[in-house]
Amino acid sequence: MFDTIDFQALRRIGLSQALVAQMFNLQTEPADRLMRVTEVQRDRLRLHDGEAEHVAQVWPTLRIALQMQGESLVVGDWVAARRDDSLGDVCWAAARVPPVNHLVRRDSSGLRQVLVSNVDTALLVMGCGQDFNLRRLDRYLALVRLAGVAPVVVLSKADLLMDGGASRAEAVRRHLSGQVDVVALNGQEAASAQALSPWLAEGQTLVLLGSSGAGKSTLTNTLTGLAAQATGGVRGGDEHGRHTTTTRSMHRCASGACIIDTPGLRGLQVDADEAQLDAVFDDISSLAPMCRFRDCHHEDEPGCAVRSRVPAGRLLSYHKLQREAQRHEMTVLDRQRQAAEWKARGRFAKAVSRAKRG
């Protein structure tokens, strides 16, 4: 185990009791130090020990072990860091503390990708202008709830609307039946820190999630009080910000919380099966037992208790994510059979159409 650990300094960058319990599973050397991953580059890491940042490389044994599990170190992880005089100021990340939670999505090829680890709150950032999309918000909510992370919807660029974003906030509350906290703000104003203060206590870790140009980096700079992240101006004509963030990185807020800025996610696919989606769409699953039919799919069946109480857009998100989960669980042979079936249906429809035209 570690010779000495400055718990007070490490708690300021997110060390929790649950993580301390996980540390006892590590095989470490006495001189190793506990540090947190704040940025991952191609062949280097940035680590923080509660006082300062350090550059590091991943110990080959750890890299191989993680690769065998289909994983890698991500921002938010905790590691045992080891000095190596031959590397100068660079140290080794020799072992990873098992994460308390991590946000996972599926990439375009269907493989699981861990985004960040050990997060307390996810700020789901969505612009009040043309970026406003409730169906996309449902995907982000599913992503964070599957990880057991508390979501907060942040409506950025509220200054673009005459009512300061109040109408957008009300639309989100109706869509989610008031289940999630919603905050409308202008990310460029210092008042944003006050609006988000309930989630910015010292030692808390937050992650910003949202589409490119939603204002995540602008909000990061406001909360940290530094121009730590590059930002772009709003494009003329469509109110979209310009994509600037390309890597995930963790920063210290003026309040003492840690905030992880992330690039916009393209084609967000949720890593969940049908039962897990039922659990995160609890506004739907809680009403399902009241439907007339036990196997109601909440589509066009009579006596459906869900359709009458859940907004149509929310129900569409649920159905689409359920279909995606079914496809993920299919074998290659199942997919081939489904493709052949759809092709046959297409040929039949074309034949019928030709026959009607004579």
Q: Lay out the sheet containing 269-270: strands in order across.
A: 112-117, 102-106, 269-270
Q: Same fold for the domain at 7-97 and the one at 272-351?
A: no
C-alpha closest to that of 200 among 168, 169, 166, 224: 224
Q: What CA–CA distance (Å, rounded) separates 289 from 305?
A: 8
Rounded (to 5) percent helix, strand, coil in the chain: 35, 20, 45
Give the pLDDT mean for 291-308: 91
Find the largest Cα–Cα distance for the chain: 86
For the chain, the average pLDDT equals 87
pLDDT in tens, 321-336: 998 888 877 555 655 6
The lowest-confidence range among 2-6, 8-12, 280-284, 298-302 is 2-6
Q: What CA–CA distance (Å, rounded) separates 321 from 196?
A: 30
Q: What CA–CA distance (Å, rounded) separates 11 from 24?
A: 17
> How far apart, in Å, are the Cα atoms of 213 and each of 134, 321, 342?
17, 25, 38
Strand (E) or helix (H) holding 257:
none
Q: Can you name the CATH fold of 102-261?
A: Rossmann fold (3.40.50)
Give the pLDDT mean for 303-313: 92
Model-level pTM? 0.85
Q: What CA–CA distance (Å, rounded) separates 119 from 103?
A: 8
Sequence-separated (6 or more) residues with CB below 8 Å from residue 302: 292
pLDDT of residue 243: 44
* Domain 7-97 is found in CATH 3.40.50.150: no
Q: Where do the domains of the chain lie? A: 7-97, 102-261, 272-351
Q: Please say if the pLDDT value at position 99 is more than 70.
A: yes
Tell which CATH classification among 3.40.470.10, 3.30.300.130, 1.20.1250.20, 1.10.40.50 matches the domain 272-351.
1.10.40.50
Q: Please say if the pLDDT value at position 240 is more than 90.
A: no
Q: What CA–CA distance (Å, rounded) separates 304 from 297?
A: 9
Using CB atoms within 10 Å of the CB of residue 323, give its burial: 0 to 12 exposed, 13 to 18 middle, 19+ buried: exposed
pLDDT in tens, 60-90: 999 999 999 989 999 999 999 988 777 677 8
DSSP-derived 3-state class of residue 353: helix
